[in-house]
Amino acid sequence: MTPGPLHRPRRLRSTRAMRDLVAETSLEARQLILPVFVREGLDAPHPIGSMPGVVQHTRDSLRAAAVEAAGLGLGGLMLFGVPERKDAVGSGAIDPDGILNAAIRDVVGEIGDAIPVMADLCLDEFTDHGHCGVLDERGGVDNDATLAVYAEMARAQAAAGVHVVGPSGMMDGQVAVVREALDADGRSDVAILAYSAKYASAFYGPVREAVDSSLVGDRRTYQQDARNGREGVREALLDVEQGADIVMIKPALAYLDVIARVRDAVAVPVAAYNISGEYAMVEAAAANGWIDREAAIVETLTSIRRAGADVVLTYWAAEAARLLRSRR
């Protein structure tokens, strides 16, 4: 009898239990962070057309979403505020009664420290020109003037009770300035999740509807060039040096290689943001019957974890947690 192959990897795929035994990558609710949008002046949640299943929340519906997220054991909530009024310097971002700071107080008051309450620290939702910073006399984003506003924004969010701030504007030195401002206010307990490698991407389209973006032009002078991978590692290392507690890559799917490189380069946790365009593509394909939606969600999130992300920001966080619970 002719002997068969000596090596038979299929032995370890023979049953569900065997596959689970040797699985290299886990996907758990505690690794998922849910981004949520809260819009000033709403009296009912407002569906976002390009992101089926995602809404702009009222303050009341946001509180309910926070309770659900805590009950599901998610890794956290990332809050984005959508104000009724904008101006050139994004003054609503530092207003203690502005929508984002009010939402932080609402959520922390509702769930306490059951899960980390995080907030986006950027000006793009609050400026009438839609850029992530204040503009100079030539219409460009003034890096250092913007840093001064970020410091005040960090103070305002900390005063509202936030657990984690997420500086996302890709200004040089933003993490150091935010850390210094928090520490000077006696808020060394507030962590920084730095958007370290944030790329100028075509996949941001749907989120601009979610935040009622008023962007004029583009963000290529401060967000990273999609052709550069080493640069993402450099940015992450700089943020760690400046005091970042977690570093993040955004988007996720088109930058899995950058996630892997950053994971190998830093000793802090690594996050990745499964962004609106990535979400919308799966939802659109599933709506047309082209893919198995639930399987695609789990496979997508697992791929990001496999690349090296310790935590994943995703609009599927709550649904994925329920799916994972039902599959146990």
Structure tokens at 222: 């401060």
pLDDT tens, residue by residue, 117-159: 999 999 999 999 988 899 999 989 999 999 999 999 999 999 9
Q: Is residue 236 part of a domain?
A: yes
Rounded CA-CA distance 153/167 in Å is: 10
Q: What is the dihedral of CA 197, 267, 157, 161, to 10 degrees?
A: 150
Q: Is residue 173 part of a domain?
A: yes
What residues are labeled active site?
Answer: 198, 250
- Residue identified by tokens 């700089």 is 238
Structure tokens at 252: 């996720």
Task: Give residue 326's pLDDT band: very low, low, confident or very high (50, 70, 90).
Answer: confident
Q: Is the pLDDT of residue 220 over 90?
A: no
Q: Is residue 7 part of a domain?
A: no
Decide if 143 contacts 171 (C-beta within 8 A).
yes
198-206: average pLDDT: 91
The domain that contains 78 carries what CATH number? 3.20.20.70
Q: Are strands 46-47 and 164-167 parallel, antiparallel or unpaired?
A: unpaired
pLDDT tens, residue by residue, 84-119: 999 999 999 999 999 999 999 999 999 999 999 999
Task: Give residue 252's pLDDT band: very low, low, confident or very high (50, 70, 90).
Answer: very high
Domain interval for residue 287:
27-326
Q: How many CB atoms lie within 10 A of CB 87?
A: 12
Structure tokens at 276: 């609106």
Which of the residue ranges 7-11, 164-168, 179-183 would you say has the lowest mean pLDDT? 7-11
Stronger pLDDT, 286 or 4, i.e. the higher one: 286
Burial class (CB in 10 A: 0-12, 13-18, 19+), 81: buried
Q: Is the pLDDT of residue 218 over 90?
A: no
Report the percent of the chain where pLDDT is more than 90: 89
Q: Is the pLDDT of residue 217 over 80?
A: no
pLDDT tens, residue by residue, 31-65: 999 999 999 999 999 999 999 999 999 999 999 99
Rounded CA-CA distance 145/150 in Å is: 9
Decide if 161 contacts 112 (C-beta within 8 A).
no
Q: Is residue 130 part of a domain?
A: yes
Identify the pLDDT of residue 194. Answer: 98
Identify the pLDDT of residue 258. Answer: 98
Q: Is residue 4 part of a domain?
A: no
**What pTM value is reported for the model?**
0.95
User: For 285, how many CA atoms within 13 A lie in the half-sphere containing its CB?
Assistant: 14
Q: Select from 122, 80, 104, 244 the least CA-distant residue to 163.
A: 104
Buried b (16+ CB within 10 A) or exposed e, 277-292: bbbbbbbeebeeeebe
Rounded CA-CA distance 221/200 in Å is: 9
Task: Give residue 1's pLDDT band: very low, low, confident or very high (50, 70, 90).
Answer: low
Number of domains in the chain: 1
Q: Is residue 10 part of a domain?
A: no
173-202: average pLDDT: 97
Q: How many CB atoms lie within 10 A of CB 72?
A: 20
Q: Is the pLDDT of residue 319 over 70?
A: yes
240-244: average pLDDT: 98
Q: Is residue 13 part of a domain?
A: no
Decide if 262 contacts 197 (C-beta within 8 A).
yes
Q: Is residue 183 part of a domain?
A: yes
Task: Give residue 210's pLDDT band: very low, low, confident or very high (50, 70, 90).
Answer: confident
69-93: average pLDDT: 96
Average of per-residue pLDDT values in the chain: 95
Identify the pLDDT of residue 328. Answer: 65
Helix/strand/coil (H, E, C) string of 230-264? HHHHHHHHHHHHHCCCEEEEECCHHHHHHHHHHHH
Q: Is the pLDDT of residue 216 over 90?
A: no
**Which residues make Cβ contacts (< 8 Å) with residue 106, sequence separation at least 6?**
59, 62, 63
Identify the pLDDT of residue 208. Answer: 76
